[in-house]
Amino acid sequence: MNHLVPIVGNTQWYSPTAAPDVLARHALATSAISSSHFPTTPSQPLTDGFARRLNYLRLSITDFCNFRCEYCLPNGYQGKPPQNELSVTEIATLVRGFAQVGTKKVRITGGEPSIRRDVVDIIKAIKQTQGIETVAMTSNGYKLGKHLADWKKAGLDQINISIDSFDAPTFHKMTGFDMLPQLLKDMDTLLETTDIKLKINSILMAETAFENLMSAIDYVKDRPVTYRFIEFMQTSDNRDLFFAQHAHSDIITDYLLKHGWQTLKRGSSDGPAIEYGHPDYQGRIGMIAPYAAHFCDSCNRLRVSSQGKVHLCLFDQGNYDIRKHLQQDDVAGLVNTLHSFMPIKPAHHQLHDSNSGIMHNLSLIGG
Ligand code: SAM
Ligand code: SF4
């Protein structure tokens, strides 16, 4: 997958054939953070060593989750409730820094972000940041009905709800929660009473793929909703299930193309999903296929954990602590540090080698 070529000026860090080893990258970043010896111009948009513009921040606000999705946290969240999560003030500083380097969209994720009591204040703080155009959230929907109006008022623009099955017993089995009918009702309320843009995420598994596709096609017939399959990604915690259930995205896309659905043109700021539309359907079906060739070529994102660590790739071998900037309200320092990461953002993940780096499961940083 070495198709990305480093841009001139960064070749001292990367070559297309010889990626530096992980320790060297970490040493490089650490020295960059402490000495700030990379010449940077604050406010210059973030562009990595492969000329990818990074204008999208995915921010995990908690590791905690109440669900027990069989591919993510089959035994539920383990350990003590998380402590020392980023405060609203720290998040406000973080987002000001990201906005200065060209971030336009922030997605709040987790764990389960809606579990945090101050999620409304977090949405508000992000929405009020100059330069941020879109505030989105990815959620299991557990609190959707209860808090929809508050989220709307706070400025939430988009929400992605995870629905792994439209069959109530299967949903219960996959998530540990018997709440599909309520969730579907809450989603209809959202569509009827707000202009929040709704998307549905669903993991692509061999066992449920066809049934989910049929139900999704029904669902989007009269609803302006995009239903996206996400190809099952292997992590160190889900190996057995992955080998039993991983299915190739073709099983969905071949069906769509044979049945009158057409690939839609992608906008420059669109995410990694390829979307399909049909003249008789209001909504769309999408596919996120991280195992597909060139998937990472259009990467436009950075991730920050609820403890204030930057993940340059979802499946990187390490992360980078930026919390001191947030604690000190040091936006200028943060901007410099973000620029210093640009030469070391990896070209692509290593999932094809069954290497998910430090990501034991996706609840740590939100998929
Ligand atoms: N709790 C929220 C939720 O479920 O929407 C946000 C966090 S969750 C980790 C974000 C998305 O990642 C969900 O749509 C989930 O289905 C997806 N996900 C989790 N583990 C995955 C895996 N191994 N492969 C593909 N998608 C995964
Ligand atoms: Fe929780 Fe989301 Fe993981 Fe399910 S996918 S266990 S809802 S973090």
Taken in order of first residue, the domains within the chain and their CATH numbers are 1-37 (no CATH), 38-364 (3.20.20.70)
Cα-to-centroid distance, 332 and ligand 2 (Å) = 34
Enumerate residues lining ligand 2, CB below 6 A: 65, 67, 69, 72-73, 110-112, 140, 162, 363
Contact between residue 330 and residue 210 where contact means Cβ atoms under 8 Å apart = no
Cα-to-centroid distance, 163 and ligand 1 (Å) = 10
Q: pLDDT at position 268, please?
A: 63
Contact between residue 7 and residue 50 where contact means Cβ atoms under 8 Å apart = yes
Q: Evaluate if residue 25 carries a pLDDT over 90.
A: no
| Average model confidence (pLDDT) across the chain | 88
Contact between residue 139 and residue 123 where contact means Cβ atoms under 8 Å apart = no
Which amino acid residue places its CA nearest to atom 22 of ligand 1? 233
Q: pLDDT at position 360, please?
A: 83
Q: Evaluate if residue 257 carries a pLDDT over 70.
A: yes
Which amino acid residue places its CA nearest to atom 4 of ligand 1? 140
Q: Is the CB of 235 under 6 A from ligand 1?
A: yes
How far is CA 126 from each of CA 98, 150, 152, 309, 332, rounded to the nearest angstrom?
11, 15, 13, 18, 18
Higher-pLDDT residue of 124 and 295 is 124
Q: Which amino acid is at 49?
A: G
The pLDDT-based confidence of 36 (bands split at 50, 70, 90) is very low
